[in-house]
Copies of this chain bind each other. A is one copy, B any other.
Amino acid sequence: MKRYLVTFLILAGASLLLPAQRKTINLPDLPGFVTLKCDFHMHTVFSDGNVWPTVRVAEAYRDGLDAIAITDHIEYQPKKDYIPTDHNAAWKIAGNAAREGNIILVHGAEITRDMPPGHLNALFITDANALVKDSVYDAIEAAVKQGAFIHWNHPGWKSQEPDGIPKLYGIHKRLLSNGWIHGIEFFNDSEYYPNILEWCREYKLAVLANSDEHGIISESYPAHRPMNLVFARERTPESLKEALFAGRTLVWFDNTLAGKVEYARPFFYQCISIGKRFYETGKNYYFEITNKSDIPFYLVNGPKGAPSSITIPANASARVVLSKSFSGTLAYDVKNILTGTGEVLNVEIRY
């Protein structure tokens, strides 16, 4: 599509930077909190990404996100022959589009080192150029001094951990004991790392999910990108930051939800409602479970005498036919809500 000179034609106030509409992501709030949908890890032409920074805001706006961070690599600048390095450039360029689109734009950068410690994102920084340091320890300290939220990216990335399993090295333990790591990615791109859920519980870290997009979001993720659900008191940058440091998150990608059980359980119950019995035969009762969210739920391992599994698609209802002779508790494992290594959420359907 052509854009040149369009500025001279547009009516008062219209923006060229953003689409005119954004979709609603249909996910419930938790009582007392608003659910912010966020992606904190993306690249642009200011490191090894392939798009201009405003594209990241436009994609997020169209897709219904509340907050994003652009986190170009500090130490990897493959386009520098054509684009002079300024680690704050993407942040400066994207700001106006974010304001016009009501997107919370978090100032970020990716500290990009060999494993250990691998790659870490610094969010809520004030000057990315101050993170240029020889030592990774010094770079992280510089971010911490700016009040940054630091999270460890793709801890089991096969380019750095050939077996795909995240490991806590000495430097990670030192950073954790300093209080310099505040979150870990569970989903990154198409990978996920179940064993980090234990560390997030032990060290009180935020469980995170990010796209790590270098190209085009709509091409990489036709359905939806990996997404953080952050339970903030308000839809403000300050509340977002407080919620992240407090670890109030779940993560969602590709029909799987993951995180701490204290957020996963109430979130599930906010998503579903259980209808009244609408019909009965001599043998059975009939009722419906309705899922008001964009996430399907797969209930498995049902109790003896009840349906062994129930699938409740996104924005749909499942019909449950229950034997009148069943008198137990309708308890199920939700196969696609992960709460630990090999652990899924257990729920009870109160019909």
Contacts and interface: CB of A to CB of B under 8 A. Distances in A.
Q: Which of A89, A99, A216, A220 neighbours the largest number of chain B CB atoms within 10 Å of its CB?
A: A216
A15 B321 contact: yes
B12 A284 contact: yes
Given A99-B279, A319-B101, A4 B218 contact: no
Given A82-B83, A290-B24, A159 B52 contact: no
**Interface SS, A side:** loop
A6 B159 contact: yes
Nearest to A318: B21
A50 B51 contact: yes
A76 interface: yes
* Identical copies of this chain, number: 4
Interface string A312-326: 110111110111000
Contacts of A101: 319
Contact of A189 (B2, B112, B215, B319): B2
Contact of A9 (B64, B73, B159): B159
B100 A214 contact: no
A238 to B, nearest CB: 16
A214 B3 contact: yes
A245 interface: no
Contacts of A15: 319, 321
Given A13-B321, A82-B86, A102 B278 contact: yes
Nearest to A287: B102
Contacts of A73: 4
A308 interface: yes
A8 interface: yes
Interface in A259-316: 278-279, 283-284, 286, 288, 290, 292, 305, 307-308, 311-313, 315-316
Q: Which of A20, A158, A311 neighbours the largest number of chain B CB atoms within 10 Å of its CB?
A: A20
A93 interface: yes
A286 B159 contact: no
Interface string A202-230: 00000000001111101110000000000
A242 interface: no
Interface in A81-109: 82-84, 86, 89, 93, 99-102
Contact of A316 (B21, B119, B311, B317): B21
5 contacts: A4-B119, A12-B321, A13-B307, A21-B316, A218-B218
Given A12-B305, A99-B279, A216-B219, 15 more contacts: A1-B213, A1-B214, A2-B154, A2-B212, A2-B214, A4-B112, A13-B283, A14-B321, A21-B312, A24-B315, A50-B52, A64-B316, A82-B89, A100-B279, A102-B286
Interface of A: 1-6, 8-9, 11-15, 18, 20-24, 26, 45, 48-52, 54-55, 64, 73, 76, 79, 82-84, 86, 89, 93, 99-102, 112, 119, 154, 157-160, 188-190, 212-216, 218-220, 278-279, 283-284, 286, 288, 290, 292, 305, 307-308, 311-313, 315-319, 321-323
